[in-house]
Amino acid sequence: MIRPFSLSDLESILQIENQSFPKSPYDWITFLNLHTLYPETFLVYASTNHGQKGQKILGYIVFSQDGHILSIAVHPHHRRKGVGRELLRRVMQTPSLTKVWAEVRRGNQGAQAFYSKMGFQVTGWVPNYYGNEDALIVQWTPGASESN
């Protein structure tokens, strides 16, 4: 189930964040700001196997109204099961978007493979975007299909 972030998800999101981005995790203030700025496009993937009261948060995505993905992460124990794909598809299926794009660390080959699989192409790069590491810009436009 994909639904908007709520404040009760914060602790789970912080755990996912710290394990996913150990070099530069967002802190709780950043997530509260993202919630304020993007109340409808800060989404979580919640497993409903744990019952209505015990939903487990497996991942999240935040994107802006013009299609910029600010962050996406999936709990390390739940990767390679299609959670990231479902979250990103939700963005790609937003009718108003004419493109979707993100920055990816040059050394983050897993995320690059993920975006490539989802039909994104590298369209540029920003030197030292992450301090001492470049960012690749990956972009998708409607009509480009996921690769096989």
Ligand X SMILES: CC(C)(COP(=O)(O)OP(=O)(O)OC[C@H]1O[C@@H](n2cnc3c(N)ncnc32)[C@H](O)[C@@H]1OP(=O)(O)O)[C@@H](O)C(=O)NCCC(=O)NCCS
Binding test (CB under 6 A) with ligand X, winner from 82, 107, 124, 142: 82
Give yes or no for residue 111 binding ligand X (CB under 6 A): yes
CB of 104 to ligand X, least distance (A): 4
In the complex with ligand X, the residue whose CB is nearer, 12 or 20, is 20
The SS3 assignment for 96 reads: coil
Closer residue to ligand X in complex, CB, 62/97: 62
Inter-residue contact 41 to 89 (CB < 8 Å): no
Q: Do 49 and 83 contact (CB within 8 A), yes or no?
A: no
Of 3, 50, 81, 99, the one binding ligand X (CB under 6 A) is: 81
The stretch near ligand X (CB under 6 A) out of 25-33, 34-42, 46-54, 113-121 is 113-121
If one asks whether residue 34 binds ligand X (CB under 6 A), the answer comes out as no
Cα–Cα distance for residue pair 148/134, rounded to 1 Å = 28
- Which run of H or of E encompasses 121? strand 121-126
**Cα Rg for the chain, rounded, in angstroms?**
15
